[in-house]
Amino acid sequence: MGIDRRRFLSTLPALGAAAALPEALEAVESAPAAVTPEALAASERLLGLEFSEADHQLALKGVAENLEDYRKIREVALPNSVAPALVFDPLPQGFAVPQGEIHATLAAAPASRPASDDELAFASVATLSRLLAAGKVSCRELTELYLSRLERYDPLLHCVITLTRERALAEAERADRERREGRLCGPLHGIPWGAKDLLAARGYRTTWGAEPYQDQMPAEDATVVARLAGAGAVLLAKLSLGALAWGDVWFGGKTRNPWLPEQGSSGSSAGSAAATAAGLVAFALGSETYGSIVSPSSRCGTTGLRPTFGRVSRAGAMALSWSMDKLGPIARSVEDCALIFAAIAGPDGLDRPVYGAPFRWPLAVEPGRLRLGYVRSLFEAKPGEGGEESHANDLATLRQLEAMGFTLVPIELPQDLPIGPLSVLLNAEAAAAFDDLTRSGRDDLLTRQEEQAWPNVFRLSRLIPAVEYLQANRVRTLLIARMAELMQTVDAYLAPSFGGENLLLTNLTGHPAVVLPNGFRKDGTPTSITFTGRLFEEDRLLAVAMAYQQATDFHLRHPDLEAARTPAAPVSPKAEKT
């Protein structure tokens, strides 16, 4: 889920909920077997409504019948994998999805093996691929190096839920054998990686970071896991996520930021970002609903791609919000994200809707011929306390892009629609996805039990009327149209990663985004900037972001884990459960 959602309470339609709740409970408790006018009146106040006594009398029978219908529906077993019959479509009216193939290649270039294993561990996917092709390193060697680092540094970072050692070594042996035989699967062949533990991996538990689900054993790989296996990549570990995809706290503790381990890594793709930034995997997959790739990538200094909604199949992934969930790569460079994206994108016949749009990589761009927007009000806004360094780095990013020849165009995001309140959509869908957890009382098993944590949100979301959910979706339709108009004026645009409502807005409209480091604070932690592109134009968006990244060196810097590591910290790798 991602960053702290400060507005979540404001999505409830009842301003007087706190005052009315005791009365509603009292009315229900006094007549547990019947619906009373008093109970109806109290319930209406929770929803910001008021009907007459005559209205109540007319409604009594219907409400009782509805309750019986709800009971029957609740008797149906609904696993998390069962999606609603309603399918979200991010396409504006009249938008035609481009057709074409997904094609990505890695340009040939000299590759020198780094002087030390530590440097090798921090090499990009592109560099590792060239080293493997040149025979200067084997997949088995890389796999053992990363497994060793995962064991060594996980006690510091708490980013591993399960090591998949047995599978990793078998896949590494196969990749080396295939390379020797000349049977190459592409640039990811032999590259070790880690999966956010909401992605199913056959034979290994998939815990979703939450106590009630920590012994789940999927029978099949998630589509993205299977596609990476088909591309020759080697799965090293199931990496931590905040419980049920919110934050960086899971049943094994808080995942830490490699740059400053006293600080959490943010979430919910907490382990994916921390492990990648720390050189414990070559890359990882994460997911985003509302900031879960952008936020931990910003905190940990990685490069993350949140693809267009409907670009990557979510089959085999935990569902949080069917209309907002997206899967994408977290890596050490934009180029790496492009290579990974090409391997996982495209329809599989299991997740709807996933479109077969084209992707070409590499894609050359001429800065002088592109209109690059920037949200002027967000760059001109006075930074809040503690945000001065991030703000300075954001302004420096604009200057760098201008110096590179990009035409910078000031823009503003849609102002005439309520964005924050639309997070009611996420709350309602998440509560439905985990309805059984709430009604069974097993939500008490989750580590985080506080106002802004899932157990409380799931319960409160029971007060969201179906009418308000649908009305919010209608407003979302208008927002999609506004963004379509805006994106016709620019090829892509920049915004501070957490500026204004851009993060929620673009997750609602399904637009792709790339987040990458753009500087550092005095305490050594990284800052980030976010590029947002047009629907299904990930290749152009990545090409623009890569041009900026190649003109800077922020992504080439790495945390000093030995300096941060407690000398007495025990090595305690997570045991496989197969």
| Helix 466-487 with 502-509: angle, nearest 10 deg | 100
The answer to whether residues 486 and 414 touch, using CB atoms and an 8 Å cutoff, is yes
**Catalytic site includes residue 196:** yes
Which of the following is catalytic: 240, 265, 292, 497? 292
Gap between the Cα atoms of 425 and 421, Å rounded: 9
Which of the following is catalytic: 43, 240, 265, 268? 268
- What does residue 256 show for φ and ψ, rounded to 5 degrees? -105, 155
Enter the tokens of residue 10: 């404001």
**Residue 541 Ramachandran class (φ > 0 left, ψ -120 to 50 alpha, else beta):** alpha
Q: What is the CA radius of gyration of the chain?
A: 24
Gap between the Cα atoms of 199 and 188, Å rounded: 19
The answer to whether residues 154 and 179 touch, using CB atoms and an 8 Å cutoff, is no
Q: ∠ at Cα 397 (396, 398), nearest 5°?
A: 90
CA dihedral for 489, 495, 500, 506, sign (positive or negative): positive
- Sequence-distant (6+) residues with CB within 8 A of 271 are 157, 159, 160, 161, 194, 196, 197, 239, 240, 241, 255, 265, 284
- 3-state SS, residue 59: helix
**Residue 519 Ramachandran class (φ > 0 left, ψ -120 to 50 alpha, else beta):** left
Closest by alpha carbon to 483, among 528, 442, 448, 533? 533
Strand pairing class (407-411; 371-375): parallel
Which segments within 119-185 are labelled E, that is strand?
Answer: 160-163
Enter the tokens of residue 548: 């900026």
**Catalytic site includes residue 292:** yes
Closest by alpha carbon to 347, among 82, 96, 102, 87? 102
Strand-pairing partners, residue 376, are none
Side-by-side strand order, sheet with 526-533: 160-163, 234-239, 192-196, 283-288, 326-331, 303-306, 513-520, 526-533, 492-496, 371-375, 407-411
Gap between the Cα atoms of 202 and 15, Å rounded: 47
Which of the following is catalytic: 43, 196, 254, 266? 196
**Catalytic site includes residue 268:** yes
The answer to whether residues 248 and 261 touch, using CB atoms and an 8 Å cutoff, is no
Residues tagged active-site:
196, 268, 292
